[in-house]
């Protein structure tokens, strides 16, 4: 398949407006944090918000699921917008929408249903920020360093979770939880200044073409749904599960903090390794999910030793793969990175939606050991889907080379 031809004038314009890789990575990290922080802040301040608005933990799960469900619905349209208007415009739109969502929660969230509505309306920011960042990294970071860049960008998710946790003692317990959302909105708007200006960004996006491996991407997206649904259970139910089995709340909280730190390190190190072994990344993800499933199984027989091992394996491998997935997909679809990753990202968001609902109901009906066992089995099925998707991607790549 022939690559689109670029005129000398366009090449000169592209060089003139080139964005330094470090600037692109910094922008991708801050944009992703700004666009995803609303849902994590709601989770981090859940105790204070629930006391004022008067809803149960089930209501919190519903709010989080609604956010990720709306993100899943917005993912493919957001990818099309990035390809049409460019990453700069859509990244700034996403950051602005996230800041508006945070401010609206601070001012207008007076019940569970108003909170859910605001979160759902602002969820499009999550999809826009993720896909615009993917496109910016694919176009401004050299291929030999893209694995690390995607790892750093995906580390923004556990960083957002840690920032939300820090907001509890620093702001929520001193000034009130609504002020935490005001300060977060101001911080999100600060990310606008870090989005690089790319005057030829829209033209480059419109010039993109090429055939996408849609079938393979859908299979990988289904695997991502199962994997994300299982992995999200770690952050959602780990503390409550540990306390229910006799672990002290302080120790359970430290285990969650450990998991977040391990997740950040694993995403960055995984991306660094991907640059040194760029082929067969989806197969590597399948192996990570298999080990992650073992970690979830350890949580089913919870004691102090298995808690630590399960957290390290679950967060370190079972929830460290999104950056590798984006890297693998972008490498095979450099002509339309946002459109391609929007399909797989839909799967990640869908898992974030159905995972807490389904697994939470299972835990209520059959207990946490059963829930962790089922989550581990689902993660194994996710690994199998990734293997199948990897084979389909390689087949597509071979056909493209022949064409």
Same domain membership, residue 364 and residue 239: yes
Question: What is the pTM for the complete model shown?
Answer: 0.82
What is residue 211's predicted lDDT score, i.e. its pLDDT?
A: 57
Q: CB of 56 within 8 A of CB of 240? A: no
- The verdict on residue 359 lying in a domain is yes
CA-CA distance, 261 to 270, in Å (whole number)?
A: 14
CATH number for the domain harbouring residue 107: 1.20.1250.20
Q: How many structural domains compose the chain?
A: 2
Q: Is residue 78 over pLDDT 80?
A: yes
Distances in whole angstroms, Cα of residue 205 to Cα of each of 3, 59, 122: 14, 41, 25
Q: Is residue 128 over pLDDT 80?
A: yes
315: nearest Cα among 256, 387, 360: 256
- The verdict on residue 325 lying in a domain is yes
Same domain membership, residue 136 and residue 45: yes
Q: Where is the domain boundary, 208, 243, 278?
A: 208
Same domain membership, residue 343 and residue 272: yes
CA-CA distance, 274 to 160, in Å (whole number)?
A: 24
Same domain membership, residue 367 and residue 223: yes
What is residue 186's predicted lDDT score, i.e. its pLDDT?
A: 94
Q: Is 121 exposed, middle or buried (0-12, 13-18, 19+ CB in 10 A)?
A: middle
Read off the pLDDT of residues 206-263 as tens digits, 9 standing for 90 and up: 544 445 677 888 999 999 999 999 988 887 777 778 877 887 777 777 777 788 788 8
Q: Is 265 exposed, middle or buried (0-12, 13-18, 19+ CB in 10 A)?
A: middle
Q: Where is the domain boundary, 175, 208, 241?
A: 208
Q: Is residue 385 over pLDDT 50?
A: yes
Show the DSSP H helices in 155-248 as ranges: 156-167, 177-190, 201-207, 214-244
Same domain membership, residue 234 and residue 169: no
- Give me the chain's average pLDDT, please: 84
Same domain membership, residue 141 and residue 240: no
Read off the pLDDT of residues 278-337 as tens digits, 9 standing for 90 and up: 777 787 888 889 999 999 999 888 777 888 889 889 888 888 888 888 888 888 777 788
What is residue 339's predicted lDDT score, i.e. its pLDDT?
A: 87
Read off the pLDDT of residues 141-164 as tens digits, 9 standing for 90 and up: 988 888 899 999 988 887 887 777
Grade residue 51 by pLDDT with cuts at 50, 70 and 90.
confident
Higher pLDDT, 381 or 352: 381
Average pLDDT over residues 100-110: 96
Query: What percentage of the chain reaches a pLDDT higher than 70?
Result: 89
- The verdict on residue 305 lying in a domain is yes
- The verdict on residue 345 lying in a domain is yes
Grade residue 101 by pLDDT with cuts at 50, 70 and 90.
very high
- The verdict on residue 10 lying in a domain is no
54: left (phi over 0), alpha (psi -120 to 50) or beta: left
Q: CB of 34 within 8 A of CB of 191? A: yes
CA-CA distance, 44 to 36, in Å (whole number)?
A: 13
- The verdict on residue 282 lying in a domain is yes
CA-CA distance, 217 to 70, in Å (whole number)?
A: 20
Average pLDDT over residues 109-136: 94
Same domain membership, residue 146 and residue 182: yes
Higher pLDDT, 274 or 370: 370
Average pLDDT over residues 159-175: 79
Give 81's contacts (C-beta < 8 A, 6+ positions apart). Answer: 90, 128
Same domain membership, residue 218 and residue 203: no
Q: Where is the domain boundary, 157, 184, 208?
A: 208
CA-CA distance, 46 to 68, in Å (whole number)?
A: 17
CA-CA distance, 129 to 35, in Å (whole number)?
A: 6
Q: How many CA atoms lie within 13 A of 354 on its CB side?
A: 15
Q: Is 318 exposed, middle or buried (0-12, 13-18, 19+ CB in 10 A)?
A: buried
What is residue 363's predicted lDDT score, i.e. its pLDDT?
A: 85
Residue-range definition of the domain harbouring residue 320: 210-403
- The verdict on residue 145 lying in a domain is yes
3-38 b/e (C-beta count within 10 Å ≥ 16 → b): eeeeeeeeeebbeeeebebeebbbbbbbbbbbbbbb
- The verdict on residue 5 lying in a domain is no
Query: What percentage of the chain reaches a pLDDT higher than 90?
Result: 38
Q: CB of 157 within 8 A of CB of 321? A: no
Q: Is residue 48 over pLDDT 90?
A: no
Q: Is residue 274 over pLDDT 70?
A: yes
Same domain membership, residue 351 and residue 377: yes
CA-CA distance, 385 to 375, in Å (whole number)?
A: 15
Same domain membership, residue 324 and residue 199: no
- Distance from CA of residue 32 to its chain's centroid? 8
Same domain membership, residue 264 and residue 274: yes
What is residue 7's predicted lDDT score, i.e. its pLDDT?
A: 37
- Distance from CA of residue 126 to its chain's centroid? 9
Same domain membership, residue 277 and residue 366: yes
- Give, as one character, the DSSP assignment of residue 111: S
Give 41's contacts (C-beta < 8 A, 6+ positions apart). Answer: 102, 164, 167, 180, 181, 184
């Amino acid at each position: 398949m022939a690559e689109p031809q670029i005129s000398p004038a366009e090449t000169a314009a592209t060089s003139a407006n080139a964005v330094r890789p470090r600037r692109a990575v910094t922008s991708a990290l801050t944009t992703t944090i700004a666009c995803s922080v609303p849902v994590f802040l709601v989770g981090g301040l859940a105790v204070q918000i629930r006391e004022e608005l008067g809803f149960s933990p089930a209501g919190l799960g519903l709010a989080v699921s609604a956010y990720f469900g709306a993100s899943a619905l917005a993912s493919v349209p957001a990818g099309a917008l990035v390809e049409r208007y460019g990453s700069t415009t859509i990244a700034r739109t996403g950051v602005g929408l996230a800041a508006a969502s945070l401010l609206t929660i601070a001012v207008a969230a007076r019940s569970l249903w108003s909170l859910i509505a605001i979160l759902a309306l602002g969820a499009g920011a999550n999809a826009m920020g993720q896909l615009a960042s993917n496109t910016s990294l694919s176009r401004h970071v050299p291929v030999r360093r893209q694995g690390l860049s995607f790892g750093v960008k995906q580390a923004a998710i556990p960083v957002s979770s840690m920032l939300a946790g820090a907001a509890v003692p620093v702001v929520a317990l001193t000034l009130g939880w609504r002020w935490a959302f005001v300060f977060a909105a101001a911080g999100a708007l600060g990310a606008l200044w870090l989005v690089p200006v790319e005057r030829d960004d829209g033209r480059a996006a419109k010039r993109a073409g090429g055939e996408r491996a849609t079938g393979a991407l859908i299979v990988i997206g289904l695997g991502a749904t199962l994997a994300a649904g299982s992995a999200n259970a770690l952050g959602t139910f780990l503390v409550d599960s540990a306390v229910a089995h006799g672990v002290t709340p302080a120790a359970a909280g430290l285990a969650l903090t450990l998991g977040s730190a391990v997740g950040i390190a694993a995403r960055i190190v995984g991306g660094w390794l991907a640059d040194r072994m760029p082929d067969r990344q989806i197969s590597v993800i399948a192996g990570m999910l298999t080990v992650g499933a073992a970690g979830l199984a350890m949580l089913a027989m919870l004691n102090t030793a298995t808690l630590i091992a399960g957290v390290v394996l679950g967060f370190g491998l079972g929830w460290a793969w999104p950056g590798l997935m984006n890297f693998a997909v972008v490498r095979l679809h450099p002509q339309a990175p946002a459109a391609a990753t929007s399909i797989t990202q839909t799967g990640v968001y869908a898992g974030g939606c159905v995972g807490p609902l389904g697994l939470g109901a299972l835990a209520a009906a059959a207990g946490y050991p059963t829930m962790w066992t089922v989550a581990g089995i689902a993660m194994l099925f996710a690994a199998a889907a990734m293997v199948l998707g990897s084979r389909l991607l390689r087949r597509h790549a071979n056909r493209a080379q022949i064409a």
